[in-house]
Amino acid sequence: MKKYILLLCAISFGLSGQNEVMTPQKLWELGRVSLDAVSPDGTSFVYGVTYYDTEANKGSRDLYLMSVKGGEAQKITDLPGGEYGAHFVGNDIAFNHAGQLHLYKMVDKTISALTDIEGGVSGAKALKMANGDIRIVFSKSFKNSKTSSDLYPDLPKAEFKVIDDLMYRHWDSWDDHEGSLVCFTDYKNSSATSFEVLIQDNQFESPVPPFGGSESYVISPDGKTVAYELKALKGKDFAEQTNSDIYLVDIETKITTNISTGMMGYDKNPQFSPDGSKIAWLSMATNGYESDVNDLIVMDIKSGSKTHVLKTLNKYDELTFQSFAWANQNEIVAGVPIGGSNHLFEVEYKKGKLELERISQGDYNYNHFEIAKGGYVVERQDMNNATEIFFLQENGKASPLTSVNKAIYDNLKKSKVEKRMVKTSDGKDMLTWVIYPPDFDPNKKYPTLLYCQGGPQSQVSQFYSFRWNFQLMAAQGYIVVAPNRRGLPGFGREWNEAISKDWGGQAMRDYLSAIDAVSAEPYSDENNLGCIGASYGGYSVYMLAGIHEGRFKSFISHCGLFDLESWYLSTEEMFFANYDLGGPFWEEKNAETYSKFDPKDYVQNWDTPMLVIHGGNDFRVPINQGIEAFQAAKLRGIPARFLYFPNEGHWILSPQNGLVWHDQFFNWLDTYLK
């Protein structure tokens, strides 16, 4: 490990009890808190805390139980590995562990397995039936195509793949000839070992890969019906389209009905109303556009009539939903990105009229939430604090329930976070976060970093990242400038959609407007400006390297797109490339995108040191993009370094790799900006 990390370790342990600053090691010491569920009576909740052991290079998650009024938490699991997806089954708590569903019994505090299914289950959900049985819905992997050993059983040591169609790899993994299907079983008196599959055609998958999980399916309150999301497409069609649908299947008869026929974008996250008479889900209208407005659809199951909430409220051009939960038969609470933060809104029928009212306030991200007695139990974070769980009253007042990381934060100097409006080159107001070092002195000059957001449509909110951590960057003596440039949600549909087919246009001018505004301040060292980002943010770094006109003294690009033509022919989800770039480079209508907005075509202007970071298992932005950028810089005679993680994908997930990442990141910045 580098001297930089060893020094930070000495600082971390040597100043215990004094005012300290955030370090990479402290980030990994933080407990990562996440909410699971609230009890049926709304008076208690279960949550998990994950701690990472950097020496063992892995983490473990345990479950805790607490009253919504606060008080001492009760630890209910301490098993090796981790426990996930906890939810209440009557008064008891079910959770997933080691590939099976388990039950924690409140009366005697014992844990027993509800399932013992060969090969294991994923994302299991349980419901107590009227007869006392426990019905369990889950997903399970099944073989869906021939493997190499099937094709050549007499050549067991041969290593190869025969590829006939697209989607042969996805995000960070190759096609393994298996797919997930939704299944169910009933627990009676002993662990369930048999099950039934609810999706009969195993050529399609549910949950929808690569990120679909237990939110993709749900069981009705009476236990008789399951709703699930399915993208009934394969190969090239799957790669080019986003059209998924919501299906209802009768568990007894297996009769299946598509309830979103004709709705051509993503339809996901189905949830039944408390009495089961209605079902709601999130829906995008445009096939092939993964960042479209998420409307909330509410359907009366008996009549089939649907209400499109945002369109009914005339808010379709202003807002988008990212999550929701039923509060009662006529009220839904929804998570909405707005104005640089994530907040909760109430959607309610009042006197037959649909109304929308904001609940939470402030510069915080209110993320996953559950309905509780008298309010909501919700995860909250901001740029100076990792997630803790709060109780949010219906009037918007929030009070903390957990304080897992209090001991660490009590000894940390916090950063000042400023919410600043910057005028863009076309006269728009752009919200830009400016994060200052602890003990900021306006009479000093500080090196300043422009942060370029990925996505591209992903709001720069009050998020707390364990890699792109603004608190950590500021603690090392940098001012961080994080603009909500064109192409981000939370500022209306027009602002969000402005990025598509204009990747290297107005968004780049927005970046430059932000850094120019802050670097003009007397406390910003305009001679020591850096530019950093990942994914589309990494693309932005490469693009700005060719057009920045001497502003920056250092660049860092993680998993950035460098050559749009070669990227188009090596990425996997073609709907993203087709919508955002306009389609393939050989079509004349897309000529401007590939000639005007392709970073490789500006390499002749590169003149600034660059650190390139890439993962070997990144199939969204394949490794050749990083290799080509690094090689171009070296051939240009520019100081450059290539940081390669062979077993990481689009993100850095391993604790020890994460420490190396931060060590290289700050060493590079310190070399060229201080």
Per-residue confidence (pLDDT) for residue 13, from 0 to 100: 37
91 and 187 belong to one structural domain: no
551 and 596 belong to one structural domain: yes
174 and 233 belong to one structural domain: yes
Domain containing residue 203: 114-292
Please tell me which residue in 548, 614, 650, 662 is annotated as part of the active site.
650
Rounded Cα distance between 558 and 532, Å, is: 8
Query: Residue 13: inside a domain, yes or no?
Result: no
Query: Residue 18: inside a domain, yes or no?
Result: no
The residue out of 105, 130, 147 marking a domain boundary is 105
Rounded Cα distance between 345 and 358, Å, is: 4
What are 462's two structure tokens?
A: 């009050």
Residue-by-residue DSSP string for 460-480 = --S---SSS-HHHHHHTT-EE
Per-residue confidence (pLDDT) for residue 15, from 0 to 100: 40
Parallel, antiparallel, or unpaired for β 398-400 and 416-423? unpaired
Residue given tokens 């970071």 in the structure block: 613
Helix, strand, coil shares, percent, the chain, to 5: 20, 35, 45
Amino acid at 361: Q
Query: Residue 297: inside a domain, yes or no?
Result: no
Query: Residue 308: inside a domain, yes or no?
Result: no
The CA distances from residue 202 to 180, 197, 230, in Å, are 8, 10, 11
Amino acid at 252: E
404 and 437 belong to one structural domain: no
Please tell me which residue in 535, 540, 554, 557 is annotated as part of the active site.
535
Instruction: Count Cα atoms within 13 angstroms, Cβ side, for 643.
Output: 23
Query: Residue 403: inside a domain, yes or no?
Result: yes
Contact 609, 640 (CB under 8 A): yes
Per-residue confidence (pLDDT) for residue 16, from 0 to 100: 43
Query: Residue 2: inside a domain, yes or no?
Result: no
Q: List average pLDDT for each run of 10 residues in the chain, which is 674 residues long.
A: 41 51 97 98 98 97 98 97 97 98 97 97 97 97 94 96 96 96 96 95 92 97 98 98 98 97 98 98 98 98 98 98 97 98 96 94 98 98 98 97 97 96 98 98 98 96 98 98 98 97 98 98 98 98 98 98 98 98 97 96 98 98 98 98 98 98 98 94
Containing 554, the helix (H) or strand (E) segment is strand 554-558
598 and 549 belong to one structural domain: yes
Rounded Cα distance between 422 and 520, Å, is: 12
373 and 335 belong to one structural domain: yes
451 and 557 belong to one structural domain: yes
CATH number at residue 655: 3.40.50.1820
* Exposed/middle/buried for residue 312 (C-beta within 10 Å: 0-12, 13-18, 19+): middle
427 and 400 belong to one structural domain: no
419 and 400 belong to one structural domain: no
Active site residue 618: yes
Query: Residue 305: inside a domain, yes or no?
Result: no
Amino acid at 325: A
Listed residue (268, 280, 374, 397) closest to 330, CA to CA: 280
376 and 505 belong to one structural domain: no
Query: Residue 312: inside a domain, yes or no?
Result: no
Parallel, antiparallel, or unpaired for β 178-187 and 196-197? antiparallel
**Maximum Cα interatomic distance, the chain, rounded to a whole number of Å:** 75
Active site residue 535: yes
Active site residue 650: yes
Asked if residue 207 has a cis previous peptide bond (ω within 30° of 0), the answer is: yes
Please tell me which residue in 292, 510, 563, 618 is annotated as part of the active site.
618
The whole model's pTM is what? 0.95
Rounded Cα distance between 530 and 609, Å, is: 10
The residue out of 292, 312, 338 marking a domain boundary is 292
Domain count, the chain: 4
246 and 276 belong to one structural domain: yes
Per-residue confidence (pLDDT) for residue 202, from 0 to 100: 82
Parallel, antiparallel, or unpaired for β 341-350 and 353-358? antiparallel
What are 507's two structure tokens?
A: 């968004």
Rounded Cα distance between 482 and 511, Å, is: 9
What are 483's two structure tokens?
A: 């603009």
The residue out of 370, 396, 412 marking a domain boundary is 412
Q: Identify the DSSP state of 157.
A: T
395 and 432 belong to one structural domain: no
User: What is the SS3 assignment for 642?
Assistant: strand
